[in-house]
Structures are given as C-alpha cells and as structure tokens.
Amino acid sequence: MERDTMPVDVLLVGAGPANLACAYRLAQVLQEKGKLDEHVIMIVEKGREVGDHILSGAIMDPKAMSELFGDDWRAQGCPVDADVAEESVFTLTATKARKMAFIPPPLKNHGNVIVSLSHVVRWMKEKVEAFGDAIMIAEEQPAADVLLDGERVTGARLVDRGREKDGAEGAAFEPGADIEARITVLGEGSRGSLTKILVDKLGLGGTNPQVYGTGVKEIWDIPEGRVTAGTVWHTAGWPLPDTTYGGSWMYAMSDSRVSVGFVTALDGGDPGCDPFEIMQRWKTHPQLRTLLDGGTLVKSGSKTVPEGGWWSRPKSFGDGFLIVGDSGSLLNIARLKGIHTALRSGMIAGEVIAEALLADDTSAGVLERYEERLRASWVKDELWRVRNWRQIFSAKGFKKGKLFAGLAWALGGKILKDPVPIHDDAQSVSPGDASAGRDFKVEEGLTIDKVTGVFHAGSIHEENQPSHLLIADTDLCASRCAEEYGNPCERFCPAAVYEMVDGAMQINFSNCVHCKTCDIADPYGVITWTVPEDNGGPRYLGM
C-alpha cells in the first residue's frame, strides 16, 4: 500500500496540556536561539477541534501556568471560572453528609482555581499558534500506530480512512500518512492508545501496573443562592462500598453553574461495577438533590484517570521519543490533580527537545535528560510523597486506607513495603454475575440514563465505518464471559456501547465517548480501543 509521508522534526501526539506546554516551551527556546524557523513541529489531535476530547474536574494548581507563561498568565487571557473559596470534605452515608472538622492536607485547595480544562487548552492553542508557521496544529488527525525502526521511534501513522463497515476499502479509501519525526512526544492523556502500543512493544512498563478510575462528570445550571462561585466539596463513602476507592466533587464555577462528578476505581472487584450508575446514585443523596433540584443538566461526559502514580510510570524516554503528562502517569491522585504536573512535564520535555535538536542528537542518551530533570523537579517531590497512596487503599480498603495513606503521607511516602504492589484492574475483577440485583431507576429532572449521557456529551461517529472497538473473540462474550462474569462490559461502559442482544454481542460504537474503560477493565483483555477513522467522539468544550 502506497502511503504519503511527511517529515517533521518533532511530532506531538495529542493536544492536551502536556503537549501544548511542550510545544510552547520548545518554540520559545528555539526562538531565543534564532533557530525556530529551521524546524518543523507538528501536533496531531484526534478531536475535531482542540479541547473537544478534554475532560477534567477541574481544580488547577496554577504554579506551572506561572512558570510557563509568567505570573500574569490570567491577565494574558487564560480562562478561569473562579478562585477556590470555601472548601469542605464530607463523609456520606445513604442519608447523611458529615462534614469533616479539617481538610486533609492533600485536598487543601486554597490558592488554586476552578477551570474548564477544555477552555484552557483552547487558549493554550492560541498561544502556541502565535509562534507562526513553525508549529502546525493538525486537528481531526487521529494517530493510529507508532512507527518503529528497531527500538527507535520514528514517528506515527495516521488512521486509514474510507473503509466500509466490514473493513473493506471503499471508493474513497485513503491510507493514513506516515509522519516521520526525529522526536515523537506521546501526550495522549489517560490510557493513550499509542503509548499502550509502545509500552507493550518495547517493554517499558513501570514497577507497578497502571490502575485507573473512571470519572463521570456533569455540568449543571442551578438556581442562584445555593452556592457561591469558588465553593468546593469533596465527598467519600456512599454509594461506594469500602472495597472500592473513589469519591466525588462539586466545584462551583459561578453562583449558578456547578461541575459535579464521581470517580470510581476499577479494581474494586465487583464485576457489576458501573461508574455511570454510581454517579447517578450519588446525585440522589439529599445533599446533591437539594443542590440540583430545579436545575438543568448542561453537559455530561466520562474519562478514565490514571491513579497509579510514581511506581506505575512507564519508562519516559528512549531513542526518538518521550512520554509526558497523564500518559506518563504523572497525576497526583492524593490531590486529585494532574494538570500542573502535565504542564511541568511538557515544559521540561520542550527544553530537552530543543537541546537535542540544537545538538543534532535525538538519541536516548540526550532525551534521558527529560527523566533526570523530571526527577530533579517539584513533580518528583510531589509524586514521591504519595508514591504508595493508591496501593494502600487497594490493600486496606477505604476506611483503613485513609489512616494508613495519611500516615504514609506524614512519613514522606514510605510505609511497610516500598513500593507497595498493586494488581492490574482487569485481574482484580471477581467472578460473579454483573447483571444481578441492578434496580436503579432514572428519576426525571435529576438522574439520567447512559444514552442521555451520550447526548449531553455530544458524542457521535459515522456509522459507515468499521467499529473502532475491537473484540478479539466475540464468541467469548456469549460463552465464558456470560457464565463467569455476566458480561461486565454492559455495566462498566458509561455510554451503553456494549449490549448482549439475543445472546450475541452488539457494539454500538457510535455512542463511544473515548473514556477507555473497556480497554482497561475487560477481564479477558480481548477489547482494544483504537482511534475511529472519522474524527468522531465527544464534544467536551466547556467541560
């Protein structure tokens, strides 16, 4: 098959905060050296527009923004919804919300800001574009594979387009171009599909496997007078059992608009774990019911969160490549924050790439400086202190975990064993019947079903294309999986993509919101998420 090729100096896969920070800092350094015009930098983004596939809570620690853009980053136009004002942490039972007397140190948010990350990356895109033609931001360009020459990454292959539903080449078939790059930066976010391929092929996995939670978020407009802009709640407890890590948030973006969401860990063992339903149940708690009553759901969405932290980091560099941000497991789960670490990792990557280009050496020997400087930065300090956080909760359960993780935090991160091990999410699923005892009913005006959630995510895919969700053995769905687990994919997918119909698996791929839960939580490892060829997916602008 003849493919077009395009040579660039640097290819960044994914236009999230880490890669946009990388591109900005790289361009800045090259410009200072008078060398920007001699290099070609390209960002490829699978969404229709930058920000479309970006979903986060989000409270941002602004220190990395100041480091990247200067202390006046807000005056430069970066969109911020509110400064964090009053903050509270609650423990929930089914009927009560008990306010904690103090805020656990990792959850203190004084000085931080409430943002829509999709708006922030849109603004960052403009900052990057201000460097002119040396940087190309190519939207609607999903990267489907990594190009390798031995152990050297040599770029990425864009998705083939124009296949029919059955996979055959249609009349308008076009093979995806090969973008050949001297350095490729993987900043795809949580469970990046190219990062997964590369980690598997080159054996780059960390000390621990990565573990994830699935977050479900909604934005609501509510009557004024219930919260003030900047109010922050976090909750633990109901409706999760003690065996499952997770919790919720409510961030007041204004006096009448709130971001609410719930993150459920995927290693709780229950084959019927349904993060979307857990979010809906949580909304029926009296605390949330009172808040949302008479309000209007504006948007909804889901994504996974890489929770493993320091010991789950894949090797971050090699010949011709770097891995940044969430793809590199740099999220601080104790603080529920990863934007600042993603930005900082991107900045460090940008500086190291500039040095590599100027020295005309893109080997691992030079790119290793990224890892060295990450370890010398506050990113390491922050993540090192909570390096066993998530594993402790997994080992001890939520109630005891709070005590042990708090103790480990006070001791600088070390407790009993170091590192504390953890199991892969898929291996944690216990045999059982995923469909047993599910009795949740939608309550109009408060809770929604998954298809309504897809509508509010704005997610759509062209129907006449092959499914981008691959199941290696669909016979397994009707036989072993049905018997041993009761088809957990019908539960864990927040978008009702997987449906057993008359004993056979039906994949409603058009609903997919690209959260990646299925790629992680399927107990047999037969589901693979790949990029769709039509640039489909959610429309998360404002989320």
Q: How far is the CB of 471 from ligand SF4 (least distance, A)?
A: 11
What is the per-residue binding string for ligand SF4 in 204-243, x denoting contact by CB under 6 A? Answer: ----------------------------------------
Q: Give the shortest CB-458-to-ligand SF4 separation in angstroms.
A: 13
3 state SS of 103? coil
| Beta-sheet strand order (sheet of 82-83) | 59-60, 113-114, 82-83
Query: Residue 14 or residue 494: which is nearer to ligand SF4 going by CB?
Result: 494
Residue 308 Cβ, how far from ligand SF4 at the closest point, in Å? 19
Which pair of tokens denotes residue 63? 């220190």
Give yes or no for residue 514 binding ligand SF4 (CB under 6 A).
yes
User: Min. distance of Cβ 536 from ligand SF4 in angstroms?
Assistant: 11
Looking up tokens 């059992």 gives: 241
Give the residue, chosen from 356, 469, 471, 543, that forms a contact with ligand SF4 under the rule CB under 6 A: 469
Q: Does 517 bind ligand SF4 (CB under 6 A)?
A: yes
Q: What is the distance between the alpha carbons of residues 155 and 3, in angstroms, rounded to a whole number?
A: 14
Task: Kindly state whether residue 513 participates in binding ligand SF4, applying the rule CB under 6 A.
Answer: yes
24 touches 124 (CB < 8 A): yes
Least distance (Å) between residue 63 CB and ligand SF4: 32
Q: Which is nearer to ligand SF4, 334 or 471 (CB)?
A: 471
Query: What is the C-alpha to C-alpha distance for residues 377 and 382, in angstroms, rounded to an integer?
Result: 9
Query: Residues 512, 531, 541, 543: which binds ligand SF4 (CB under 6 A)?
Result: 512
- The smaller minimum CB distance to ligand SF4, of residues 39 and 53, is found at 53
Q: Do 471 and 522 form a contact (C-beta atoms < 8 A)?
A: no
Indicate whether 515 belongs to the interface with ligand SF4 (CB under 6 A).
Answer: yes
Among 240, 493, 505, 541, binds ligand SF4 (CB under 6 A): 493
Among 20, 405, 495, 531, binds ligand SF4 (CB under 6 A): 495
405 binds ligand SF4 (CB under 6 A): no
Distance, in Å, from the CA atom of 528 to the CA atom of 136, rounded to the nearest integer, reads 30
d(CA 238, CA 247): 8
Only one of the segments 17-25, 37-45, 98-106, 489-497 lies at the binding site for ligand SF4 (rule: CB under 6 A); that segment is 489-497
Nearest CA among 478, 470, 515, 514 for reference residue 499: 478
65 burial (CB, 10 Å; 0-12 / 13-18 / 19+) is buried
Region class of 363: left (phi > 0), else alpha (psi between -120 and 50), else beta:
beta
The interface mask with ligand SF4, positions 522-541, x = CB under 6 A, is -------x------------
3-state helix, strand, coil in the chain (%, to 5): 30, 25, 45
Q: Which of 518, 531, 541, 543 binds ligand SF4 (CB under 6 A)?
A: 518
Candidate ranges 90-98, 119-127, 199-207, 493-501; the one touching ligand SF4 (CB under 6 A): 493-501
Q: Is 346 exposed, middle or buried (0-12, 13-18, 19+ CB in 10 A)?
A: buried
The one segment of 66-74, 275-283, 413-421, 509-517 that binds ligand SF4 by CB under 6 A: 509-517
Three-state secondary structure call for residue 69: helix
3-state secondary structure of 356: helix
What angle in degrees, to the nearest 10, is found between the helix axes of 17-32 and 117-129?
A: 20
In whole angstroms, how close is the CB of 302 to ligand SF4 at the nearest point?
Answer: 7
Longest CA–CA separation in the chain, Å: 66
The 3-state DSSP class for residue 139 equals coil
In the complex with ligand SF4, which residue's Cβ is closer, 121 or 512?
512
DSSP 427-446: HHPPSS-TTTT------TTT
Residue closer to ligand SF4 (CB basis): 52 or 319: 52
Q: How far apart are CB 356 and ligand SF4 at their closest, in Å?
A: 34
Identity of the residue, 112 or 517, whose beta carbon is nearer to ligand SF4 in the bound complex? 517
**Does residue 516 touch ligand SF4 according to CB under 6 A?**
yes
Interface residues toward ligand SF4, by CB under 6 A: 469, 493-495, 497, 512-518, 529
